[in-house]
Structure 1
Amino acid sequence: IARLNADGSLDAGFSLGTGANDRIFTASVQSNGTIIIGGSFTFYNGTAINRIARLNTDGSLDTGFNTNTGANAQVFAASIQPSGKIIIGGHFTSYNGTNINHIARLNVDGSLDTGFNSGTGPNNSVSKIFLQPNGKLIIIGLFTSYNGTEIKGIARLNADGSLDTSFNPVLGSYASIMTVAFQPDGKLIIVGSFTFFNDSKINYIARLNSDGSLDSEYNTGTGTSNTILTAFIQPDGKLVIGGQFTFYNGIAVKPIVRLNVDGTLDTDFNPEIGMINSIMTAILQPGGKIIIKGNFISLGTVTRRIARLNADGSLDTSFNDGTGPNQRVFTVTLQPDGKLLVGGDFTSYNGIALNHIARLNTDGSIDSTFNPGTGSNNTVRTAVLQPDGKIIIGGDFTSYDNVSRVRINRLLNS
């Protein structure tokens, strides 16, 4: 992890020593600027700390955040409640020596909140946690039960960690939910890799009522032909989905489509970007344009990994990143000014040597004011913007611009 200045230079005020000794999967910035990190690491700057830690604003380990023996396996997700307490999810089965399966709540000092009553919890890992305005939690993961009650892939928890039994979705076996999109009316749309819901054939997408039952008025027909990886709801209520599919309700489509509010295909959205293998991420910009990340061919035979679509799905030719990155992109972060932070395992971008991180102007060109020097020496997997504009990056790297930075760093953003 690292912190960068706005110009991409290493933030020398972010001093993390030897950093984390293994991967960081999640990073969340608290209101006071401290940073919660979770992953598979067991040391931070030479101090034993198991898989969850809090960093001071200067990158040093916050020793006031006392996790003791911490989590005994990976932490994949961390969400900060308005109270400052932290919900963590992952593959762990104990925290600080206390048996607690795959989800826990921590007090602001890092100790286990025993008032969070998950019982035996989920029986397998939790991958994402969504905080709802009413204090309840939606969790998704590989679990098939929660505290002994059968519930597959998605569950809603009360504020005290108990299972909300009024929310009872019935997914088929081997279901995997990739993400959830929340409607203002309390309904939620789930997408992922599933083909049954409550014994009804339903392919990869469903809308649930607030009680978790299937919303039969959401008419997806036969759904998609393969996994959906990303989804967001537009201000007009329409849903954009992307993934690995080639059909929607029997109609041949590119693997990004827009659905009307009733689940039918919006035929006014027609992506014209050539052959596409998959869309991994789709991000809505304030003006209605859509940034997509994936593997696709456009503009003849040019292989691209990032593009921008107009609101009707057509390729926005004013966004031109040239030949783009020479390898995969794992993270795309939209800045408030419209610029894009891009991280991955690439070593050049549009023919310019840029190791694993770059910033693009609003037209897709390389932002030459963002100067990461030699960049990171390995993959950048995540990037988080702080309120002050500085950038936290995490990944597999052990140095940034030839300075030792192990898997976490902060960059200035000026």
Structure 2
Amino acid sequence: MNSKSFQAPAGAGQIDPTFGTNGLFIPNVPHPTDQHISVRAMTLDEDGSVYCVGTVLLAGGRSEYVCFHLSRGGVMDPLFGTDGYVRGSFDTSGDNVTHSGGEHVLIQNVNGVQKILLVGTLISGSKFKRALVRLEKDGGIDLSYGKDGVAVIDLPTLEKGADIPPLPDAKRTGNQNGAPVILLPDNKVLLVKDAMTGWGIKQPSYIVRLNADGSLDTTFNETGYISFFIEDANEIFLTSVALTDDGNYIAVGYALYSHIPGEALFVQVDENGQLDHSFNGSGYLTIGELPATQFYLDQLTLQPNKRILGMGVATDEKNAGLLISREQDGSPNIQFNHARPLLTPLENNGIGWLFGKTQPDGHVLVAGAAFANNVVIARVLNEGKLDTSLGQGTGYLRFAEARTNGTLAVAFEDKSFLFTAWFTTPTGEKFGIARGLLI
């Protein structure tokens, strides 16, 4: 695999040629009869190694979750699981018609023992359930977790046309980095989940808190979850959640309507699972831009001075990266782009920001897909401008040899980041993991 692009001098905007083989780790399917393997998320361990989770498609069309462990240099750990892979179904009943997929991975410390928590989705018929499985460090199933190592979260099933209690009207206008699933300091797990009810049914979204053993934490809103819905919306999607310095939970996402364009959504609840009315007076906030621009938030990170930065995409004729900074009470951050949402079209090319991380100096790295799905990373300054010291004055780095094909997983390192993409190799286009250099 001696592709010329992988042998370029190592520097900002280049693939690290020392990672994996000639700059790439290409995962093989765990079994020769498997059709395909994908990686949905990556998490770094303290030693710089990385746990990867995703989905493997079986020969018969079913899917299972899959996890593997790489060294910092991009070498697979053959002692993890079976021949380097852990795979299985969240359905412990043995039903051969369900599908399982891994979407997130967390590292827990349970009484001084490291555990690997995989979070994903169990699909059974038309039902989509959040599910978790906990592994030992060597990849074995931790049978002390949930039921035989697996926890499946049952949330209310809405019947077609069912009434959903609306939230009160809102004004339209710790754990630093948000994610769909985060680990809390007491080993509890906080996650967001949409209802997946299907078209034609009003769809809320949920914030869910689990105990360390995988059960619903009934000290959180007495049920373990709180649902959100806006009365005039069709669908609500919460996509990312974070723990604030004040111990509250802030989530972002978007609201979809039939009569106006979609709006960015911020929701804040307290540790008891109640809407925090110190945030915008109602606990939530929607932000749109009429007449025809849709706002979607996919990720968030916490900025200095308890501010919140939502990241996503604004769509009209072309997609522009979307960044919205708010104060801890939901009011606009006047120091960020003059209190306005920042749209970053990147030389009139479509872009959506899917990942972000606040750096020690308070500035934020954001990563997404642009330029025919190439992987792009930028640095956003506190005042709401792209840092033009990056990318020879452009404010961003483009990895032209990497194509996302609509999916992207990212893990930020100190001076680099790991990402998944499709890469052109001498033997054709391959799905793999690479390290992109930032300096």
TM-score normalised by length of structure 1: 0.62
Residue 229 to residue 154, structure 1, CA distance change in 2 (3 Å):
same
Per-residue deviation, 1:128: 1.3
Q: Higher strand proportion, which one?
A: 2
- The answer to whether the 8 A contact 2:68-2:77 is kept is no
- The answer to whether the 8 A contact 2:206-2:227 is kept is no
Indicate whether 1:278 and 2:279 are aligned. Answer: no
Indicate whether 1:411 and 2:437 are aligned. Answer: yes
Residue 47 to residue 193, structure 1, CA distance change in 2 (3 Å):
closer
- Specify the alignment match of 2:130 in structure 1: 153
Per-residue deviation, 1:211: 3.6
Per-residue deviation, 1:289: 1.0
More displaced stretch, 280-289 vs 267-276: 267-276
Per-residue deviation, 1:284: 0.9
- Specify the alignment match of 2:305 in structure 1: 287
Letter in 2 for 1:287: N
Structure 1 gap segments, 5+ residues each? 17-34, 37-43, 53-66, 95-99, 146-150, 248-252, 298-302, 348-353, 400-405
SS in 1 for 2:382: coil
- Specify the alignment match of 1:234 in structure 2: 244
Residue 235 to residue 323, structure 1, CA distance change in 2 (3 Å):
closer
Q: How far, CA to CA, are the matches of 1:5 and 1:235 in structure 2?
A: 41
Cα RMSD (Å): 4.9
**Aligned counterpart in structure 2 of residue 128 of structure 1, from 81, 91, 104:** 104
- The answer to whether the 8 A contact 2:306-2:327 is kept is yes
Per-residue deviation, 1:305: 0.8
**Aligned counterpart in structure 2 of residue 365 of structure 1, from 385, 400, 409:** 385
Indicate whether 1:223 and 2:225 are aligned. Answer: no
Per-residue deviation, 1:229: 0.7
- Specify the alignment match of 1:103 in structure 2: 66
SS in 1 for 2:122: coil
- The answer to whether the 8 A contact 1:4-1:412 is kept is no
- Specify the alignment match of 2:36 in structure 1: 73
Q: Residues 369-384 of structure 1 correspond to what in structure 2 (within 5 A)?
A: 369-372=389-392, 375-377=398-400, 381=408, 384=411
TM-score normalised by length of structure 2: 0.59
Indicate whether 1:328 and 2:354 are aligned. Answer: no
- Specify the alignment match of 1:171 in structure 2: 154
- The answer to whether the 8 A contact 2:106-2:182 is kept is no
Per-residue deviation, 1:357: 3.9
- The answer to whether the 8 A contact 1:4-1:392 is kept is no
Letter in 1 for 2:274: T
SS in 2 for 1:185: coil
Q: Residues 6-405 of structure 1 correspond to what in structure 2 (within 5 A)?
A: 9-11=12-14, 14-15=16-17, 49-51=26-28, 73-76=36-39, 77-79=41-43, 87-92=51-56, 102-104=65-67, 110-114=77-81, 120-122=88-90, 124-134=100-110, 135-143=114-122, 152-159=129-136, 160-166=140-146, 168-172=151-155, 179-194=180-195, 203-219=205-221, 222-224=227-229, 226-245=236-255, 255-270=265-280, 271=285, 273-275=287-289, 277-295=295-313, 305-320=322-337, 323-325=343-345, 326=348, 327-329=350-352, 330-346=354-370, 356-372=376-392, 375-377=398-400, 381=408, 384-387=411-414, 389-392=415-418, 395=421
Per-residue deviation, 1:161: 1.8
Letter in 1 for 2:190: I
SS in 2 for 1:258: strand
Q: How far, CA to CA, are the matches of 1:139 and 1:101 in structure 2?
A: 12
The Cα offsets for residues 110-139 of structure 1, whole Å up to 9 and x where unpaired, read as 325358997854462211111111223322
Q: How far, CA to CA, are the matches of 2:276 and 2:9 in structure 1?
A: 41
Residue 368 to residue 107, structure 1, CA distance change in 2 (3 Å):
closer
Q: How far, CA to CA, are the matches of 1:46 and 1:235 in structure 2?
A: 38
- The answer to whether the 8 A contact 1:118-1:161 is kept is no
- The answer to whether the 8 A contact 1:398-1:407 is kept is no
Residue 172 to residue 5, structure 1, CA distance change in 2 (3 Å):
farther
Question: In the comparison of the two structures, how many residue pairs are matched?
Answer: 335
**Could you tell me the percent identity over the aligned residues?**
21
Q: How far, CA to CA, are the matches of 2:286 and 2:54 in structure 1?
A: 39
Q: How far, CA to CA, are the matches of 1:130 and 1:266 in structure 2?
A: 27
- The answer to whether the 8 A contact 1:136-1:156 is kept is no
SS in 1 for 2:180: strand
Q: How far, CA to CA, are the matches of 1:9 and 1:231 in structure 2?
A: 30
Q: How far, CA to CA, are the matches of 2:364 and 2:6 in structure 1?
A: 17
Q: How far, CA to CA, are the matches of 1:194 and 1:227 in structure 2?
A: 9
The Cα offsets for residues 152-195 of structure 1, whole Å up to 9 and x where unpaired, read as 532242523244454645425999xx822333334332211238
